[in-house]
């Protein structure tokens, strides 16, 4: 029971988590607007104000952010965690 109350140093944030966070945030700020611009130019008469329907804007944002976060986490190097030990 004393093991539960021992104070320990916090574990460092793993590389994959950092990469997925940066990928998701970066895509929301840069890639999603670019994708929406491209969709507007190709299918919604790009000469007028953006005519992309709001549900499609949300869906594109969700898909682009999710894919970029997944790819960033997948491609990041694994952080070794010897402190977890198998028992």
Predicted confidence (pLDDT) per residue in 39-78, tens digit: 988 888 766 767 888 999 999 999 999 999 999 999 999 8
Tokens 């952080």 belong to 79
Per-residue model confidence (pLDDT) at position 58:
93
| Boundaries of every domain in the chain | 13-78
What sign does the CA torsion over 12, 16, 18, 21 have? negative
Tell me the CB-side half-sphere exposure of residue 87, using CA atoms within 13 A: 2
Write the CA distances from 70 to 14, 25, 67, integer angstroms: 15, 12, 5
Q: How confident is the model at residue 86 (pLDDT cuts 50, 70, 90)?
A: low
Predicted confidence (pLDDT) per residue in 20-47, tens digit: 999 999 898 899 999 998 998 888 876 6
Token pair for 60: 């594109």
Does the pLDDT at position 87 exceed 80? Answer: no
């Amino acid at each position: 029971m004393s093991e539960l109350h021992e104070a320990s140093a916090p574990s460092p944030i793993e590389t994959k988590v950092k990469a997925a966070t940066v990928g998701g945030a970066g895509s929301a700020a840069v890639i999603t607007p670019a994708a929406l611009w491209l969709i507007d130019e190709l299918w919604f008469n790009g000469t007028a104000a953006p005519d992309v329907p709001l549900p499609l804007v949300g869906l594109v944002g969700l898909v682009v952010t999710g894919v970029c976060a997944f790819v960033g986490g997948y491609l990041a190097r694994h952080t070794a965690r010897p402190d977890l030990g198998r028992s």
